Amino acid sequence: MLRLAIQKSGRLSEDSLKLIRECGISFITSSLKLKTESTNFPLEILYLRDDDIPGYVADGVADIGIVGENVLVEEGMQRLAVEQLGFSKCRLSLAVPKGDSYEHISDLQGKNIATSYPKLLQTYLDEKGVDANIHTISGSVEIAPSIGLADAICDIVSSGSTLISNGLREVERVFSSQAVLIANEGLDAEKRRVLDKLLFRIHAVQRAQK
């Protein structure tokens, strides 16, 4: 039996479940349950907060998981990545108040930037040779400039409408993300075999969608 961790409720949940179903794996879901077992494949599904998924997979509490690359890389767990899944595509971008005279990344030198992704942002700023003050906040990042907490933000964007409605302008792309399948590095032969079977089906689903 292979244990798969997916997001309990959020932007990864629906497409993660859809992928598993498209692989011909049946299970019964209930919003109250924290885990379910497939009725026709040796798979158990755990429903967790997305941020906890890389850690649980690294520790072997779950064998495999589905999470955004943004969270995986922020947590320094890239080594667990097995396969990009092509959904939950988004980007991590820098944005400034729309009236600002921003022209170049060097304009952020010495500025205060609010984000929930300090490591990804630091890596990007280091690459660009920019020294800024990163303020890590866990949510509502997009309001930080309007309340005087920061000069700029670095946050997840998909359509950009949240930025616009908060009077912000996207100025730099820091990281591109999509959902990724991750696996514990020490799976035994039996679990490895089940994972290979699952991957084979995922590839078939992906080919059919092309």
Q: Does 51 bind ligand ATP (CB under 6 A)?
A: yes
* Interacting partner of 16 out of ligand ATP, Zn ion, none (Cβ under 5 to 8 A depending on kind): none
Tell me whether residue 165 is exposed, middle or buried, using C-beta atoms within 10 angstroms of its C-beta: 0 to 12, 13 to 18, 19 or more: exposed
Question: Are residues 66 and 180 in contact, defined by beta-carbon separation less than 8 angstroms?
Answer: yes
Q: Does 50 bind Zn ion (CB under 5 A)?
A: yes
Q: Does 7 bind ligand ATP (CB under 6 A)?
A: yes
| Integer Cα distance of 40 and 26 in angstroms | 6
Q: Does 88 bind ligand ATP (CB under 6 A)?
A: yes
Per CB under 5 A, which of residues 55..84 are in contact with Zn ion?
none
Rank residues 38 and 88 by Cβ distance to ligand ATP and give the closer one: 88
Distances (CA, A) of 55 to 26, 50, 73, 88, 181: 26, 10, 12, 20, 14
Q: Does 158 bind ligand ATP (CB under 6 A)?
A: yes
Structure tokens at 171: 């100025």
Closest approach, Cβ 8 to ligand ATP, in A, equals 6
